[in-house]
Amino acid sequence: MTAGATIRRLTAAYLAVALVALLGGVLTGLAQGLEHAGINVYPALTPVVQSYYHGLSVHGVLNVLVWTTFFICGFVPFITVESLGAPLAAPRLGWVTFWLMTGGLLLAAIPLVGNAATVMFTFYPPLKAHWAFYVGLTLVVVGTWLVTLNLALTRRAWRRAHPTERTPLPAFMGLVTFTMWTLASLGLAAEMLFMTIPWSLGLRGGTDALLARVLFWFTGHPIVYFWLLPAYVSWYTLVPRQAGGRLFSDPLARASFLLFLVLSTPLGFHHQYADPGIHEGWKLVHAFLTFAVFFPSLLTFFNVVASLESGARARGGRGWVMWFGKLPWGDPSVAAQVLAMLTFAFGGIGGLINASVSLNLLVHNTAWIPGHLHLTVGTAVTLSFMGITYWLVPLLRGRALWSRRLALVQVWLWVVGMLIFSNALHRLGLMGMPRRTMIGAAPYIQPEWKPVLPLVAVGGSILTLSALLYFANLVLTLLASREPYGQDVAFAEAMSGPDHAPAIFDRFRPWLALAVVLIVLAYGPSLVYLIATTPFDSPGMRVW
């Protein structure tokens, strides 16, 4: 089964933008890592990068907003179309969407690169960017809604031809991902449309930090699931097959995604435990809901490990734990994703610490936080996406990966580099070192930080080397590889198939309604109060 040519070209176009963004993200990261060890490369980088904070803004935006979003908008529709065996319902809309998003990205990039949007990827007011930054990012978000629309139309057309079948799991998961995101992104859209855009255009005199942060984190927590769920799609529906096994349970997989749909959004206050102006009681409600959304991740862990085990045992694996060694470690796509899963276990444990109201106070705004997010979005997601491109780029190009061995080296380097890098940041954070700080210029550097700081640069350099090998391999695959590569996408079969799931596990509306109810309960009172009382009298600031 192969999808139409349109989806392939569209996916390739999204991947191209995503990869360029990642390259920029990695290079700016290297400069930050070196800076922590006292090697200040910023003077040499002017005027391209005009300050540490300029570079950090580019780093955050390119990595977590552009690389992730563009990869996902290429990968998820591809998987959906392939698994349905039906073409994209509205191909022209697909291209309009791509150009809208790319146009928005370019619009946002002008002030970002030009140091007129050095507000970091969270753009908290009263830091004020050029209006083109906010408008451009808003266009990208609107583009993602059009992707949702196209996926929904595609499933509807498929449903007409297959009235009684269960939606195939990969397509179901793709749709849940985009439905969840569309609902969750309303907070960000509201912040842009009612606050930052009119304010940056001069139509509104002042702004308010707290309301903007509430709207930002309404979207800012679920966005992590928007990054993570596409990796889960691969872990559930592709990796078991790549590992020579079967998915343990299709109904359990659906259950976990439906729980993500319901629970991803109503918990953003866990990013605001330290913010005044939000009642402690609501912070506690969001804390409990955060622990609740850990549950579908545990379901995922159980289901995916059981699936991997089936593959390893089919390959002759034995014992309670030793089967793990029998996974196809020579396949860089599998190695990348299994190692991403392992790294994610540490990220998850750290996440529980962040989510705990009292422990959060210890790590809040310290280097612990970037330590955590490089394990999660920087590895669980990014290394999984890299693993996916190790088969997806060959498939789109029709040529085998240039070098599997180089890819394996790359994958292991990423993990080793990340363990050094992230461990150092976690430890520095526990010693009270702040994040988002040009540490080399800080007069308050503590003696106990000094032996750990060079590890940030060592780990960061290994990561950069790994990334450069990754890009080299992909470029050589495009340009120099001669061996042909097949066009089939092989999805995993399930030991317990979709027909074991109750019919309600194949419906969206009841779950979406439940999600809306929970959001209204968890956010409604605080939002109503803030909107009614917020004075919008804070002037904007440009501090760079």
Which spans of this chain sit near Cu ion (rule: CB under 5 A)? 221
Q: Does 312 bind ligand HEM (CB under 6 A)?
A: no
Asked if omega into 47 is within 30° of 0 (cis), the reply is yes
Helix (H, G, I), strand (E, B) or coil at 541: strand
Q: Does 115 bind ligand HEM (CB under 6 A)?
A: no
Cβ contact 165:103 at 8 Å: no
Residue of 24, 317, 378, 387 that binds ligand HEM (CB under 6 A): 378
Residues whose CB falls within 8 Å of the CB of residue 6, separated by 6 or more in sequence, listed in order: 87, 88, 91, 94
Residue 59 or residue 166: which is nearer to ligand HEM going by CB?
59
Cβ contact 169:253 at 8 Å: yes
Residue of 382, 410, 422, 473 that binds ligand HEM (CB under 6 A): 382
Residue 30 or residue 137: which is nearer to ligand HEM going by CB?
30
Given the rule CB under 6 A, which of 133-141, 147-155, 346-354, 459-467 is the region that contacts ligand HEM? 459-467
CA dist., res. 134 & res. 111, Å (int): 10
Binding mask 422-451 for ligand HEM (x = CB under 6 A): -------------xxx--------------
Distances (CA, A) of 346 to 300, 340, 372, 379: 15, 10, 9, 11
Asked if omega into 222 is within 30° of 0 (cis), the reply is no
Out of ligand HEM, Cu ion, none, what residue 289 binds, judged by CB under 5 to 8 A for its kind, is: none
Give the nearest distance from C-beta 219 to Cu ion in angstroms. Answer: 11
Out of ligand HEM, Cu ion, none, what residue 221 binds, judged by CB under 5 to 8 A for its kind, is: Cu ion
Out of Cu ion, ligand HEM, none, what residue 55 binds, judged by CB under 5 to 8 A for its kind, is: none
Q: Does 66 bind ligand HEM (CB under 6 A)?
A: no
Helix (H, G, I), strand (E, B) or coil at 248: strand
Residue of 190, 262, 340, 377 that binds ligand HEM (CB under 6 A): 377
Return the number of other C-beta atoms located less than 10 Å from residue 100's C-beta: 15
User: Which positions from 190 through 249 interact with ligand HEM, judged by CB under 6 A?
Assistant: none
Number of H helices, E strands in the chain: 21, 2
Out of Cu ion, ligand HEM, none, what residue 64 binds, judged by CB under 5 to 8 A for its kind, is: ligand HEM
Residue of 169, 373, 388, 407 that binds ligand HEM (CB under 6 A): 373
CA dist., res. 126 & res. 219, Å (int): 19
Residues whose CB falls within 8 Å of the CB of residue 163, separated by 6 or more in sequence, listed in order: none
Q: Which residues bind ligand HEM (CB under 6 A)?
A: 25-26, 29-30, 32-33, 36, 56, 59-60, 63-64, 67, 120-121, 370, 373-374, 377-378, 382, 435-437, 456, 460, 463-464, 467
